[in-house]
Amino acid sequence: MRKQIYVHEDDHPDLTGDELAEKVLRYIQYSALIDTSGLSVMAIGRTVVLSGYVSCETELGCAEEAAASVIGVHLVENRLEVRPH
C-alpha cells in the first residue's frame, strides 16, 4: 500500500530526528507541489536542514517556507541550490 503524502494526523509537535525530517519532506511535496526527488531533509532535534537541488528560485523559497510551517520545526537551515539548466 502506498503511503499518503501528508495528513494532518502527522501534526505531532514532539517529533524530532528522522520522523520530523520525513514529515517535513512530505509536507514540502504536499504544500508546495515541488518535486522532492532532489531534496534531502535532515533534522537535528527540531532544527531542519534542507539540502539538494530545486528547479528555480521560487521553489527554493517555497520549500523553506513549507518546512518552517511544519508543527515542531523551530529552525530551518536552507542549503538548497537551484539546479543549472
Q: Which domains does the chain have, with CATH numbers?
A: 8-82 (3.30.1340)
Return the pLDDT at 74. 94
**With 80 as the cut, is the pLDDT of residue 1 above it?**
no
Q: Are strands 75-82 and 39-44 parallel, antiparallel or unpaired?
A: unpaired
**With 70 as the cut, is the pLDDT of residue 84 above it?**
yes
Q: Give start and end residues of each alpha helix (H) in 1-85.
A: 17-32, 57-68
Reported as a single tens digit per residue, the pLDDT across 32-57 is: 888 899 999 999 999 999 999 999 99
Return the pLDDT at 73. 94
